[in-house]
Amino acid sequence: MSTLFALPVSTSQQRQPWQHDREQHEKKKRKRGVLHKAEAGLDDTGRDEQDESTENEDRAVVSPGERAQRYVANLKPNKPLPRPPFPHKDTTVRNPRGAHASTEGRGNGQSLRLQHVSAMTALLHKCLRNRDWPRARRALGLLMRTEISGQALDVRAGEYWGIGAEILFRHQPDPGKSWRRSGFLSAKEYYEKLIVRYPYHRASPESVNSIDFYLAMFSLWIYVVQAEREAATNAGASSLQAQEAQRNELYEAGQIKARLTKCMGTSPYADVKAFQQLQRDVHIWYTALEREYQAYSPVPNVELSAEEHLSVAAEQLNLHSSASYTHS
C-alpha cells in the first residue's frame, strides 16, 4: 500500500540492496526447515494450518469491541460476518450503506433544486414575453437566491445580467411609456455594482466582465437621453420646453462624455475597439448638440448647472417676448 511518503516510482523499484539480501536469507532458512522435517519423517500439516490460522487472527484489524462481539458469536476475527440481519454486523458494513444513503439524499436534493431552477426559468421567460415586469422581478430574485451544490447561480450565465437590467428599467413605467426615469437610475446603479464585482482579468479575457457592463450602461444611458429629448419635442411642447429638453440632452451628453473619457484613461478600456468607437460617436454627438445649442442661444457657456441653464433660458424667453411686443 502506498503511503504519503512513498517515492514516485513503482514498488519493485523501491527495494534496497539490504532488503534483497534479507529475503534471500529467509528463503534459505525456510528451505532448510522443510528438508529437516522431511528427513525426520514428521507430518506437521495440521499444525502449520493451525499456526497460520492463529497468525491470521492476530493480524486481523478489528476494534476491541468488535473482537468481543465476534468471541460471543463464536466467530473468528479474520472471517467475514454473516449476511444481515446478523445482530453483530460490523460498522464497516454500515458506513458504506450510510454514505450511499447520504449521497442519494444529496442527489435528490440537487435534483429538486434543478427542477426549481427550471420552473423559475420558464416562469421568468413567460413573464418577460407578457411584459409582466413585477412577476418577472420576483421570479428572477428567487432564481438568483437558489444554490446548487452550495454555490449561488452566476448572474453572468445565460446573460441573466442583461435580463436583470431590463427588468429594473421597465419596472413600473410611466403612463404612456415603456420605462421611467427612476427605472433607468436603478438599472444604472445595477450596472455599477456589476462593474465592481466582476472586473476585467487578463487570465480570462473571454468571460463576461466590466467591459460588457460598461458598454451596456453607456448604451442605455444614451438611449434614455435621446428618448427624453424626442418625447419632449414630439409632445407639441413650447419653445421654452424644447429649449429645456435641448439643454438637458446637452448636459447629459456632457456627463456621458466625461465618464467615458475617465474610463478610457484606464486599462484595458483604452485598448478595446468598441470603447474607441463609442468615444468617437459620443464626441460627434456632443459636438453637434453644442453647435445646435450655441446657434439657438447667444450664451456660449455650456458648462453651467441645470438650474443655471433654466435661468438663462427664462431670461432669453423674456427678452424674446419683449422684443416681439415692442415690434408689434
Cell of 141: 430574485
- The DSSP 8-state label assigned to residue 148 in this structure reads E
Give the H or E element holding residue 152: strand 151-152
Q: Give domain limits for the chain.
A: 110-153, 165-296
CA nearest neighbour of 312 among 320, 233, 292:
320
Cell of 165: 437590467
Contact present, 242 and 234 (Cβ < 8 Å): no
- φ, ψ of residue 147 in degrees (nearest 5): -115, 135
What amino acid occupies position 233?
T
What amino acid occupies position 52?
E
Instruction: Return the sign of the alpha-carbon dihedral for residues 97, 98, 99, 102.
Output: positive
Q: Output the CA torsion 2→64→50→32 (10° steps).
A: 40
Round to whole Å and give the CA distance between 327 and 248: 31
Side-chain half-sphere CA neighbours of 164 within 13 A: 22
What amino acid occupies position 169?
F
Task: Say what the pLDDT of residue 321 is.
Answer: 46
Task: Say what the pLDDT of residue 57 is.
Answer: 53
Task: Say what the pLDDT of residue 297 is.
Answer: 65
Task: Say what the pLDDT of residue 242 is.
Answer: 82
Q: 213: buried, middle or exposed (CB in 10 Å: 19+, 13-18, 0-12)? A: buried
Task: Say what the pLDDT of residue 158 is.
Answer: 82
Angle, CA 238 vertex, CA 243 and CA 247 arms, to 5°: 10
- φ, ψ of residue 300 in degrees (nearest 5): -80, -10
Q: How much is the pTM?
A: 0.58
Give me the average pLDDT of each 10-residue run along the chain (328 residues). 37 46 66 58 48 52 70 72 59 47 55 84 93 94 85 86 95 88 95 95 90 96 93 76 88 95 92 95 95 72 50 50 42
